[in-house]
Structure formats: C-alpha cells, structure tokens
Amino acid sequence: MDPRVQVPLGVSIAALGDTAAALAWVASRGIAGVQLSSTHPSMRPRDLGVSARRDLRATLARYELVVTGIDAWIPSEHFIDPAHADRAIEAACAACEFASEFGRVPVTLQFPRAASHADALSAAGPHAAGAPSNAAQESHAARRHDAINAIASAAERSGVTVADASGAAGAPWPPMGVSLDPAAVLAEGGDPVSMVSQLGPRLVSARIVDLLRSGMRGPVGAAGESRLDVLGYRVALEMAGLSRFPVIDARQWIDPHAGIVSTVQAWGRAIPG
C-alpha cells in the first residue's frame, strides 16, 4: 500500500489502542479518515479541554486525516435505566457537541430497540412482575422516547446527525439517521446490500466489517470465512452517494491492525482502480 495515495475509507481507531499511535499508524497506511470514539479513555469530551482539543485538531491536520464521525458506544440499556439514563444522555449530547468541531460529522450510537412486553418487564426488573400487563412496556417506551428526543435536540443544536446502529425506529429523521453494520445485519439473517437501498437518505454512516463463518466479527474478504458480498456492498454504497467515507470497524477483531490492512486490500480488489 502506497502511503502517498490516500485510501477513501475511515478506520475506527478505538480498537487500535493509544490514540496518538493509532493516528500515526492509520496515516502511515495511507488511509484518509478516522472514526473517533467519545467513550475511549483518552477521548471523552468531558475530559478534553480547549488545549487538548486544539492539539488533537493539529495532529489530525499534520497527518492529513479527516474525521469520518464520532462513535458514542454507550450501553443501549443505559438510555432507559433510571439509574444511568441522565449520565448516558449527557454523554451522547456531549458527543454531538464534540462532533460539531470536526465538520459536523455524524455521531454513531445504539439506542435500545422498541421493546415487547416481555423485554420491558425484563428491563424493569423483578419488581415489575405484578404490574399491569402493559405498564412496563409503556414505561420502557416513554423512557426511550425521552432519551431520543433529548439527544435529537442536542444534535439539532450542534448541527449534526445521529446515526443509530439499531435502525432508528421511531426516531425523528432528521436528525436521527441509521448506521449500517453489515455484520449485525448478517447475524439477523438480513442482506446488507439490499439494506443500503432500503434505507435511502436515512443511511448516514456505513461500516465495513464481516460476520465470519465462525460467528465472529472480522475483516472482509477472508477466504473461506467471509459472508459479506464485498463487491455488491461497495457498489451499493457508491450508488447511494454516502457523504462520508465508509468506516472499517475493527472492534472485537482478533488482530485489528492486520485485519484493517487486509480489509483495505479486499475493498480495493472489489473494484480495481
């Protein structure tokens, strides 16, 4: 890979360890973009003062890296858990403000899905067992609605879009779009290629990650292991006119560095330049 030629992809750097080293490594591989993480220990907005943010922007400029988006991987159940909801919502809102500093890039997170009655009872805990049949479900729906609305308001104030990795069901568009994770779609028996066209303009962020035959998340294009139609997925994304680079998502990969390199190669082979 020639580092002088920038590859039009992003990389989620949270899986690469130390932020400074990760940025240097991505730049050395000739990859154009990075996906920052607002939940990474060195990247939490509440811990980054004016000087630290200025230094981060200077480092990105020195390496000629663009920010493709901000990941805010807050446990989805925290948004509806009374013990955690305020802090979770505050962290998501802070990620929206943070994203506004990098060209108003999308914020990717995962809302809890609308729950069935059984799911709502489970989330409410053992004391909900004697509640009326729909009370727990209504409470779950109300807390989910309040969290979504609070974060949507923060996104609008910051001029950013939120990309929900759970499908953004019931969320206002804009500012709530969808982040497409092909491994998650494959795990549910879906087709990531057709999903791109189904989402239309609500698709605001797309991941590059495979669901391997072993059931693990991993690099795309692995011989004998890959399940993702890499060519079809790349063509679909290009036809969709996604405004941000697709992001190589190396979370949970056995060897993120090697996997990123092989994924860039597989993505390039799908449509030779």
pLDDT in tens, the chain (273 residues): 454 568 999 999 999 999 999 999 999 999 999 999 999 998 999 999 999 999 999 999 999 999 999 999 999 999 999 999 999 999 999 999 999 999 999 999 999 988 654 555 555 555 555 555 578 788 889 999 999 999 999 999 999 999 999 998 889 999 999 999 999 999 999 999 999 999 999 999 999 999 999 999 999 999 999 999 999 999 999 999 998 999 999 999 999 999 999 999 999 998 876
Q: Is residue 34 part of a domain?
A: yes
Instruction: Give the residue numbers spanning the domain of 166.
Output: 7-270
Count CA atoms within 13 Å of residue 237 on its CB side.
Answer: 26
CATH code for the domain of 159: 3.20.20.150
Q: Is residue 1 part of a domain?
A: no
Q: For the chain, what's the residue count?
A: 273
Q: Is residue 213 part of a domain?
A: yes
Q: Which helix (H) or strand (E) holds 119?
A: helix 117-124
203 bridge partner residues: 178
What pLDDT, on the 0 to 100 scale, is given for residue 135? 80
Place of tokens 């998502």: 249
Enter the tokens of residue 139. 């409470």
Q: How many domains, the chain?
A: 1
What pLDDT, on the 0 to 100 scale, is given for residue 117? 47
What pLDDT, on the 0 to 100 scale, is given for residue 134? 78
Report the distance separating Cα 253 and Cα 256, nearest Å: 5
Q: Is residue 148 part of a domain?
A: yes
Q: Is the dihedral of CA 37, 64, 273, 235 positive or negative?
A: positive
Q: Is residue 210 part of a domain?
A: yes
Q: Is residue 235 part of a domain?
A: yes
Look at residue 34 and give its three-state secondary structure. Answer: strand
